[in-house]
Structure 1
Amino acid sequence: MATFGSEGHMSRLLAISAPGDRLVFVGTKTDRTSQEHQGRILSMAEFGRLRLRTLDYFTKDQLDQRDFDTRGNFKFPFGVPIVRGWVFNPQPLVNELLKQRLTMLATPGVEELTDPDDVDKIMALPSTPFEPPPNLQFDQMRRVNDALKPTTGPIPSTSNYEVERSAMDTSWTYAMRFGNTNISKIGHATSVPGRLAEINKHIPHEIGIAIWKIELQQKWPDAITAHAMEQKVFEILEGKRTTGERINCSQKELMTAWQRAIVGD
C-alpha cells in the first residue's frame, strides 16, 4: 500500500489521477531514509483506486513501530493498494534529473508532475519489475485496476468507457437467502432489486418452489469497494462455500461475517 497520514491526501491522489497512472517514490532527506537514498528517485508503482485503511490489511507487528504515536495510533491510516511496481537502477537524484522542483506537499501527500519531459525521463529510467507478494484481496484489486485502464491507441474504446463508468457508480454488496434455507448468495450490484429480479427469473416459482430474497445489503461509493467487501465475506466464510457465489451457513454466522467484512476485520 501507499499510505497517507490524512484522508485528504489520499482523496487528492485519486482526484488528480486516472486508472493506470503511477506514483513515483523519492527518498526524503531525513533520518528515516538511508544516506545513500536521500533525494533520489527510488521506485515507481501503479496503484488501484480503492480507499483503504492500513490496519484492515496489516497487523501492528508488520508495520514500522516508529509510525505509531504514544497512544498506539498508526500515523498513516489511509492508503491505496499498490498493484505492481518497478525499482529503478541506478537511482538518480531528483533535482538533477527533473526540471520541476518538488514542494513540501510531496512529503505528506502527492505532487503531480506536469512537465511531459520529466515524465518521459522517469519512464525511460532502467528498472526492475516488482510484483507484490501474492495476496487474494490485492490480486483481485489488480485485476479490477487492469480492467479500468484505458486501452492503448488514440481512440478509447466504448467498452472500456462503460467498464470504468460502471465501476465508479454507487453500488451495494448484497446477501440473498434462498427461501427459509441456510443457502445464501453473496454478490454486488448497482441495483440489488434489479439483480434479485434477474436471479429469480431462472426459478420456476409457479410450482411453489422457494425463491431468493434480499437478506442484507451495504451501500458503497463504487463497484470496486462493493466487490472488495463481497470477497471479504467469502474469505471469512471460506469453509461454508458451496458452489459459485453460494454459501451454506446460519443467519447468525452470515451476520457476524457481514459485520466483520464492513469494518475490515
Structure 2
Amino acid sequence: MKRFENKVCLVTGASSGIGRATAISFAKEGANVVVSDVNETAGELVVNEIKALGKSAFFVKCDISKREEVQNMIEQTIKTFGRLDCAVNSAGIAGTLSLPTHEYPEDAWLQQININLTGTWYCVKYQLIEMLKQGGGNIVCVASAAGLVGQPDNVPYCASKHGVIGIVKSAAIENATKNIRINAICPTAIETPMIMEGRRKLAHNPEALEAAINLQRMKRMGQPQEVADVALWMCSDQSSFITGHAMAVDGGAFA
C-alpha cells in the first residue's frame, strides 16, 4: 500500500516550487490533496495534474496572512474530505530588499512577518484544532536555513523563519502526547521561482552570487523534489518518533 493511501493532505504555497512538488508527491503516494495558494491559475494546473493521477483534489485560494482566509481553507478541507491527516505549510515570501537592520523599512518588515510568521501561526493553529478533534495528524512547516543562523541584510526573513521554528517546537511539545507530530524543514538554496528571482538580483554582484553558490558544499542548488521527499517522510509513519525537529536540507552548507 502507498504511504498516504486515502489520506487527506493540505499543502499551502502549492502552485509552484516546493509546495507544488509536495502536493503532486502526496497524490502519487495515494493521498487526496487540497492545493492552496494565492495564484489561482497555477493552482488549478496543479489540481489537474493530481486528478490525472487518479486522485481527488481541489484548489482553495488563501492569503495565509489573513485569518479568515486560513479558516476558510480549513473549513473547505473538512467540508470536502471530512478530515485533515497531513499539512505542509510551504507558503511564504522572501522579500525584495537587501538592507542592513537599521535601514530596513517597517512596511517591508511587516509584510514578511505577516506572511511568513503570523500566516504560518494561523495555519498551524487551525490545523491543530481539526487534528485535535479527530485524534491525530502531522504538520510540517517549511522554514529556512535562515531560521537556524543569522543572515546579514535580510532581517525580516531571518527573524520570521526563526519564528516559524519556534512555533513548530512549541506546538510539538504541547501536542506530543496527542498523536500529533509537528516538524520543520530548513532548506538553503532550492531551485524555485522565489530563489531564482533572488539570484537574478545578485547578478550585478558576482562576488555575492559566487558566495551564495559556494555555500552549498555540493556546489549545486537543491531541487524542489528533494525537499518534498523530506516533507513526505516527516508526514509518514517512517518518522513516527520525530517531533519538534528542524531538519536542514542544505547540501552540506552547515556541515
TM-score category, normalised to shorter length? under 0.3
Structure with higher helix content: 2
Q: Which has the higher contact order (CA 8 A, sep 6+)?
A: 2
TM-score for the superposition, normalised by structure 2:
0.24
Which of the pair has more CA radius of gyration? 1
Structure with higher strand content: 1
TM-score for the superposition, normalised by structure 1:
0.23
